[in-house]
């Protein structure tokens, strides 16, 4: 199933190299796309609608000037998917009462913590209310998250969800945002859905966010529809995007509730939370590399002019080495970079990248533990200094020696590059960049 992305890329490459649109080619593409979407749990009805739109637009619309056929078709596929999922979302700023709901074990409580962290990062003061008194230790979980973030949490001593809401809302009325965590429920369960309705009435939320795991099957649409009937969903948060699931079930939820994706949970830590980005999400759904954000990221991590100067002149200190490592890190984890490159994401074994990543992290720590003098002139680093650096950076002496060896290699290569006369500046920069990526 991991090969799906590769397949679609190949499919598009192979059949869409021509300049004119051939209905048969489009049909092959649509069939391939259907297969992929089916396997990512997208609702069957939606898939047929989507295929119809793609067929129509590919065959009837004129290709805009400046675009190749391939680009045009890609754009149409993107557009149609984004139409369902939503454009980039407006932030939640100014929204005061935010209620989270969803099925059992979809990650509501963790998301409540992540959302609180998000508000904090915006410079706002969030508070949380626990109205889940079904699951054992749910209040404790929210309280422990609150402790970590220094965010107040209101828990009803009587274990009454309605009371918790009433009292919590009045207690936190001065806060910028109040996040309400509710119990997991099956939207078709009568008792639980009544409870939700009543809570909604008391709370009068500004936002009702449905929390959906990325790996949910086609049941996602049905449940979302029911939830929407009960209280009216204003947005969707997709969790567990760090697994292998592509989030196709969420598409059904979007179409069933006519609401859009707002956030994506990408890991178990409170920081693993992103605002939804349609381009990235669709790329992932189809398993296609996302060149656009890669370019953007590379631009951010651009090398500084003076670094290049230094390298040309053959002076390459540990400090420069450090800057290089850092700029590679700025681009995000190597794993995520590899995923952005079409084809590469499949080609590199994952643990290899993980090892590289850990190594780079360690290298940074080691260099940080050096004095300024040592960084400028690596030759003075001898055994007693190595001992000190290892202790200071929490690494072993062997690792410090490894780093020095790596640095030696890098220096040699840099000298060679610098030695090639007549090399154009741009080309050199490119080479440096390549070297940086290969570290």
Binding site for another protein (CB under 8 A): 1-2, 35, 38-41, 43-44, 103-107, 109, 113, 134-145, 148, 186, 188, 213-220, 223, 239-240, 242-246, 248-249, 267-268, 350-351, 354
Paired tokens of 153: 């949490």
Q: Which is closer to another protein, CB of 57 or CB of 135? A: 135
Q: How far is the CB of 24 from another protein (least distance, A)?
A: 20
End-to-end CA distance of the chain: 31
Q: How far is the CB of 113 from another protein (least distance, A)?
A: 8
Helix intervals (H) in 86-215 = 108-121, 138-149, 161-171, 190-203
Q: How far is the CB of 100 from another protein (least distance, A)?
A: 14
247 forms beta bridges with none
State the Cα–Cα distance between residues 153 and 116, nearest whole angstrom: 11
Q: Which is closer to another protein, CB of 239 or CB of 395? A: 239
Q: Among 253, 210, 217, which Cα is nearest to 103's?
A: 210
Dihedral angle, C-alpha 160, 165, 170, 171, nearest 10 °? 70
Helix (H) or strand (E) holding 275: strand 273-275
Note whether 179 and 188 are within 8 A (CB). no
Helix (H) or strand (E) holding 261: strand 261-265
Q: Which is closer to another protein, CB of 232 or CB of 243? A: 243
Q: Which is closer to another protein, CB of 81 or CB of 216? A: 216
Q: How far is the CB of 14 from another protein (least distance, A)?
A: 22
Q: Which is closer to another protein, CB of 43 or CB of 207? A: 43
Q: What is the residue whose two structure tokens read 């002496």?
A: 397
Q: Which is closer to another protein, CB of 214 or CB of 264? A: 214
Q: How far is the CB of 221 from another protein (least distance, A)?
A: 10
Phi-psi region of 282 (alpha: psi -120 to 50; beta: other; left: phi over 0): alpha
Q: Which is closer to another protein, CB of 94 or CB of 243? A: 243
Helix (H, G, I), strand (E, B) or coil at 33: helix
Q: Which is closer to another protein, CB of 154 or CB of 321? A: 154
Q: How far is the CB of 242 from another protein (least distance, A)?
A: 5
Q: How far is the CB of 8 from another protein (least distance, A)?
A: 15
Biggest CA-to-CA distance, the chain: 80
State the Cα–Cα distance between residues 365 and 358, nearest whole angstrom: 11
Q: How far is the CB of 439 from another protein (least distance, A)?
A: 20
State the Cα–Cα distance between residues 355 and 348, nearest whole angstrom: 12
Q: Which is closer to another protein, CB of 206 or CB of 272? A: 272
Q: Which is closer to another protein, CB of 201 or CB of 354? A: 354
DSSP sequence for 349-382? -HHHHHHHHHHHHHHHHHHHTS-HHHHH-GGG--
Q: How far is the CB of 151 from another protein (least distance, A)?
A: 13
- Vertex 354: Cα angle to 391 and 398 (nearest 5): 30
Q: Which is closer to another protein, CB of 216 or CB of 311? A: 216
10 Å Cβ neighbour count for 11?
18
Sign of torsion over alpha carbons 336, 338, 344, 347: negative
Note whether 334 and 353 are within 8 A (CB). yes
Paired tokens of 240: 């567990």
Q: How far is the CB of 140 from another protein (least distance, A)?
A: 4
Q: How far is the CB of 107 from another protein (least distance, A)?
A: 6
Fill in the DSSP letter of residue 157: T
Surface-to-core class of residue 49, CB atoms within 10 Å of its CB (0-12 exposed, 13-18 middle, 19+ buried): middle
């Amino acid at each position: 199933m991991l090969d799906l992305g590769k397949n679609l890329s190949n499919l598009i490459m192979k059949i869409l190299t021509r300049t004119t649109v051939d209905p048969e080619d489009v049909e092959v593409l649509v069939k391939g796309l259907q297969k992929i979407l089916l396997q990512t749990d997208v609702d069957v009805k939606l898939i047929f609608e989507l295929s119809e739109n793609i067929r129509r637009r590919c065959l009837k619309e004129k290709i805009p000037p400046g675009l190749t056929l391939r680009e045009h078709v890609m754009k149409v596929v993107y557009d149609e998917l984004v139409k369902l999922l939503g454009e980039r979302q407006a932030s939640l700023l100014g929204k005061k009462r935010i209620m989270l709901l969803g099925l059992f074990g979809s990650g509501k409580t963790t998301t409540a913590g992540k959302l609180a962290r998000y508000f904090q990062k915006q410079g706002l003061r969030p508070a949380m209310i626990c109205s889940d008194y079904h699951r054992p230790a749910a209040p404790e979980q929210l309280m422990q998250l609150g402790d970590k973030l220094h965010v107040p949490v209101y828990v009803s001593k009587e274990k009454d969800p309605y009371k918790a809401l009433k009292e919590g809302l009045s207690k936190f009325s001065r806060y910028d945002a109040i996040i309400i965590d509710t119990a997991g429920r099956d939207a078709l369960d009568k008792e639980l859905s009544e409870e939700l309705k009543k809570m909604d009435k008391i709370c009068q939320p500004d936002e009702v966010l449905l929390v959906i795991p990325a790996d949910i099957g086609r049941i996602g649409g049905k449940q979302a529809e029911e939830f929407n009937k009960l209280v009216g969903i204003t947005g969707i948060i997709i969790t567990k995007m760090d697994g292998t699931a592509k989030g196709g079930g969420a598409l059904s939820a979007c179409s069933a509730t006519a609401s859009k994706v707002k956030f994506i949970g990408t890991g178990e830590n409170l920081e693993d939370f992103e605002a939804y980005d349609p381009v990235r999400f669709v790329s992932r759904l189809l398993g296609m590399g996302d060149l656009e954000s890669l370019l953007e990221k590379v631009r951010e991590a651009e090398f500084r002019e003076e670094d290049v100067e230094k390298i040309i002149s053959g002076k390459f200190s540990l400090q420069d080495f450090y800057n290089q490592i850092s700029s590679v890190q700025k681009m995000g984890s190597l794993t995520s970079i590899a995923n952005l490159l079409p084809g590469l994401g499949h080609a590199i074994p994952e643990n290899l990248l993980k090892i590289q990543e850990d190594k780079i992290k360690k290298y940074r720590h080691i260099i940080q533990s050096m004095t300024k003098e040592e960084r400028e002139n690596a030759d003075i680093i001898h055994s007693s200094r190595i001992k000190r650096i290892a202790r200071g950076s929490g690494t072993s002496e062997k690792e410090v020696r490894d780093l020095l060896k790596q640095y030696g290699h890098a220096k040699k290569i840099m000298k060679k590059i610098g030695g090639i006369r007549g090399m154009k500046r741009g080309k050199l920069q490119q080479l440096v960049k390549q070297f940086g990526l290969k570290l």
